[in-house]
Structure 1
Amino acid sequence: MFNLPYISLYIHIPWCIKKCGYCDFYSYVSKEKIPEEKYIDHVLKDFEIDVLKVNNRKINTIFIGGGTPSLLKISSIKKLLLGIKKRFIITDNVEITIEANPKILEYQNFIYYKNIGINRLSLGIQTFNSYLLKKIERTYNKQEAISAILEAKKNYSNFNLDLMYGLPDQTLADSLLDLNIAIQYNPSHISWYQFTVEPNTIFYAKNISLPNEHLIFQMFIEGEKLLKKSGYKKYEISSYSKNHYQCKHNLNYWNFGDYIGIGCSAHGKITQKNGKIIRTIKHKNVNHFLNGHYLHSINIVSEKEKIIEYFMNLARLYKPVLKKHFSKMTNIHINMIEQNIQIAKKEGFIIDHVNYWYITKKGKLFLNILLEIFLH
């Protein structure tokens, strides 16, 4: 029988106070009272259906994302977690993360999150510059961001700060100051990633001006030096952590693990006993979801898609790609891709060792070209 991989659970909460101009995640701006109790009931029913597909595996990580999950009442989040535990077995050392924004009404709940079993916080700071926060349409200021971090430190040893560089009007000094401020509060994890303007966003329609590529590259290089000097190890393209504080949930994604996705627009990847992988996408429309129509689509991942998706995920990590891991996670023998590997090796994208492949800096830089090699 095929060895089934670890499985995680992602729960999507689709509401926000305000839709940021750069955000392309699926979310609703709530103009009325959020129907949270009804939504939680349906999320748990959605979960019951997906549980039938996972062959009694234990859940190793849970991530409550959005949207803005911290908008929900503590009682709703407690009901959600208790409902999950009643319906499924989770591991004793499960990592449970919730995303939160630094607004007073939200960060006052951090102690209650801990009491109901949430053991990791992810704070969407983005920048400590109040002018830039306003520029990117965030709903808080520098002082609120710092107050939220102080509240997180009171209750959690494991918390992440999200920061961005390459913001509109941001200077090199601005970006490094953000990192210095974050580092002084000693978070266990920092997600530091480039600000981008995606299609189908308000900022894209407005053609927002960003710093030039040379300046963005300077921010990246100098920021990485600062993070390394401060004891943060880079383990993924935009993730830096202290020892033993890597995000287990995201690592499962990038290691091509399985995950159940429940709630509006959530995506799932579930491997079956025969090695086939199915992908699920839930309905985006919250009214459809609240009427019991959860599943939007389900499909079986082809052999070619498995290979592409595997390398696309593993290329994010700064570690060797074990050949036995590839076979274990895809149920495909490495001989099937030997010719592709040799082409990638010739191009300088991959180093081929006896037991593993290593994706070079060139391979990461030209990842799309590397992935195209596996299309043939």
Structure 2
Amino acid sequence: MQTLPPLSLYVHVPWCVQKCPYCDFNSHALKGGVPEADYVDALLADLTQDLHYVQQRELTTIFIGGGTPSLLSAEAIERLLQGIAKRIPLADDCEITLEANPGTVESDKFAQFQQAGINRISIGVQSFQPQKLQALGRIHGRNEAINAAQMAQQAGLQSFNLDLMHGLPDQSVADAIADLTQGIALAPPHLSWYQLTIEPNTLFHSRPPTLPDDDILWDIYEKGDEKLRQAGYQQYEVSAYFKSDSQVDYRCRHNLNYWRFGDYLGIGCGAHGKITLPVEGRIIRTSKIKHPKGYLEASNGYRHQTQAIAVADLPFEYFMNRLRLFEAFPQNEYSKLTGQAMSQIEPILANAEAQGLLSLTEESIQLTAKGHRYLNSLLEMFLPE
């Protein structure tokens, strides 16, 4: 019998000050002020239309991403969160994250967001080096990034995250480790450290910069991973680390729900959702109208597309998410969350174990160090023939 997983909510805010050349998210350079009152109204109407997908669950996490959500006022965020809570019950310990860029931060804005109901901030730093920030199209400087982290420390939040990138244009190993050293010095409870990739439909794709070669990239990863571990951080996901603390779990619970193949509603311009429908025996993905103008003027609903995940695609869809995490997970979880028999994937699991990519017991499955290094090759094994 297919099990109904935990439920999260993703809220997309599409505006930013300027579009970064590496960004393939649905973001639009701001022209004039943010129409925040109209947009919050639209978000809540969008959510109302999706309430039948809740299926008597509470929200365990909310993530407000973009774009640059910190362009919104604290008053708009508070009205949004209050509207959400009126429509769907929130778990007592609901994690509520807001993405923020250092360039949009004012001296007291994090404290205002915290008072509005935000309990976790994710700060898009990417680099502390002026030349690298310029190459990435970022509008903040080193000092703004440092100040933003310090303000997050002082705001009374449950946690905050710093986003850092490596493998940047013309980046040396020393450059990458210097960025990481500065990030660690700011003592974030959570640190996302991920490699720049060139995505289609970006400026970097049409005008590719010179990126470090594979040997340099691996050297950066090995030295950076060692430095993070020496500083007391544990890696729990392909590109995420948390400060180990016996009293508090600083892992991002919203992302954990994604990677554990949980459900999430997606509201806002171009937002995506994934919903399990056990009665119908299927899992669907939803997407919303992509352009802000079309979204704000929507008269027949906000949904762009609803599509069921094909049965043949479920192994790849499940493991593409689940194997981002380094934790062991139950063997029977695949059947519970997808409604499919384990016999569908047992030959693939046996082959992956034989190649040293997965570690299997009678009860659990876990990614190995070799599987982490060759994750793309491992995931290809789950693609339909």
| CA-CA distance at 1:307 after TM superposition | 1.4
Structure 1, 220-229 or 171-180: larger mean CA deviation: 171-180
**Normalising by structure 2, what TM-score?**
0.94
Partner of 2:70: 70
**Are residue 366 (structure 1) and residue 374 (structure 2) matched?**
yes
RMSD between aligned residues: 1.6
Residue in structure 2 matching 1:271, options 268, 276, 281: 276
| CA-CA distance at 1:219 after TM superposition | 1.0
Separation (CA, whole Å) in 2 of partners of 1:351 and 1:161: 31
Separation (CA, whole Å) in 1 of partners of 2:56 and 2:70: 30
Partner of 1:82: 82
| CA-CA distance at 1:354 after TM superposition | 0.7
Equivalent residues in 2 for 1:122-133 (5 A)?
A: 122-133=122-133
Separation (CA, whole Å) in 2 of partners of 1:89 and 1:24: 33
CA contact (8 A) 2:75 2:116 kept: no
Query: Equivalent residue of 1:103, what SS?
Result: helix
Query: Equivalent residue of 2:250, what SS?
Result: coil
Partner of 1:305: 313
Query: Equivalent residue of 1:335, what SS?
Result: helix
Identify if the C-alpha distance between structure 1 residues 371 and 167 changes in structure 2 by more than 3 Å, giving closer, same or farther. Answer: closer
Query: Equivalent residue of 1:12, what SS?
Result: strand
Partner of 1:172: 173
Percent identity over paired residues = 44
Separation (CA, whole Å) in 2 of partners of 1:135 and 1:372: 33
| CA-CA distance at 1:54 after TM superposition | 2.0
The C-alpha deviation readout for 1:141-193, integer Å capped at 9, x for no partner, is 11111111111110135110000111112222221111111112211000001
Count of residues paired in the alignment? 376
Partner of 1:240: 241
Query: Equivalent residue of 1:78, what SS?
Result: helix
| CA-CA distance at 1:30 after TM superposition | 1.1
Separation (CA, whole Å) in 2 of partners of 1:20 and 1:337: 40
Query: Equivalent residue of 1:152, what SS?
Result: helix
What residue ranges of structure 2 are gaps of 5+ in the alignment? none
Separation (CA, whole Å) in 2 of partners of 1:221 and 1:339: 32
Partner of 1:290: 296
Separation (CA, whole Å) in 2 of partners of 1:2 and 1:211: 45
Identify if the C-alpha distance between structure 1 residues 69 and 180 changes in structure 2 by more than 3 Å, giving closer, same or farther. Answer: same
What residue ranges of structure 1 are gaps of 5+ in the alignment? none
Query: Equivalent residue of 1:319, what SS?
Result: coil
2:86 is matched by which residue type in structure 1? K
| CA-CA distance at 1:223 after TM superposition | 0.4
**Are residue 328 (structure 1) and residue 336 (structure 2) matched?**
yes
Partner of 2:216: 215
| CA-CA distance at 1:104 after TM superposition | 5.6
Partner of 1:47: 47
1:176 is matched by which residue type in structure 2? I
Structure 1, 123-132 or 333-342: larger mean CA deviation: 333-342
| CA-CA distance at 1:106 after TM superposition | 4.4
Equivalent residues in 2 for 1:312-351 (5 A)?
A: 312-351=320-359
**Are residue 22 (structure 1) and residue 22 (structure 2) matched?**
yes
Equivalent residues in 2 for 1:116-155 (5 A)?
A: 116-155=116-155
| CA-CA distance at 1:372 after TM superposition | 3.4
